Amino acid sequence: MLVEDARAILDQADLIHSAEVVQAAVASVGAAVKAELSEANPVVLCVMSGAVPFAGHLLTHLDFPLDFDYLHASRYGANTTGHDKLTWRCAPWIELKGRTVLVVDDILDEGVTLAAICERLKQMGAARVLTAVFSEKETGRPKPVKADFVGLTVPDRFVFGFGMDVCGAWRNLPAIYAKGDA
């Protein structure tokens, strides 16, 4: 995407959650995760690439022993809508057998990707799989998975910022925006 195109998208976007609201939500999720998992010695798995900002900020609130790793699975690629086929680019390196696993993701949209990830982790031997999503889209439709920890809800629009991209751009924004109608 050209720089001027990315700037035009941001200029036409609507602010959904400010940077301050985003950070408060991360702290809230961190407190809830700490209350639930501080004695579990969990494996925290970041779903690449969108969950990187959330995972990085969240980890600073988790002052207890844990192992950290990542996975890369996607139905989107560079597209704005998901495909039927889940593509696994990288599975976790840490042994999951018998472990409690916390999957950290950027958004729970339709839930198909997150449900498939959780199923795969159980097949890999995880004893318990929990999920923390930074945002959950209010689609009004049933989802195959329910997140255990949710930072913020977002409208049923194309959202970006704080890890979520629009055509590869703006993952680095500290706030959440919705793409304009133009």
Q: What was the pLDDT predicted at 49? A: 85
State the CATH architecture for 19-154. Answer: 3-Layer(aba) Sandwich (3.40)
Euclidean distance between CA atoms 174 and 176, whole angstroms: 7
Give CA separation, 52 vs 70, 88, 99, 124, 163, in Å. Answer: 9, 17, 22, 23, 6
Q: What was the pLDDT predicted at 84? A: 60
Is the bond preceding residue 18 a cis peptide, omega within 30 degrees?
no
pTM of the model: 0.90
Q: What was the pLDDT predicted at 180? A: 85
- H/E element holding 92? none
Q: What was the pLDDT predicted at 75? A: 66
Per-residue pLDDT of the chain (182 residues; tens, 9 = 90+): 789 999 999 999 999 999 999 999 999 999 999 999 999 999 999 998 899 999 999 999 999 999 999 998 876 555 545 556 778 778 788 999 999 999 999 999 988 889 999 999 999 999 999 999 999 999 889 999 999 999 999 999 999 999 999 988 999 999 999 998 74
- Give just the sign of the alpha carbon dihedral 53, 54, 59, 61: positive
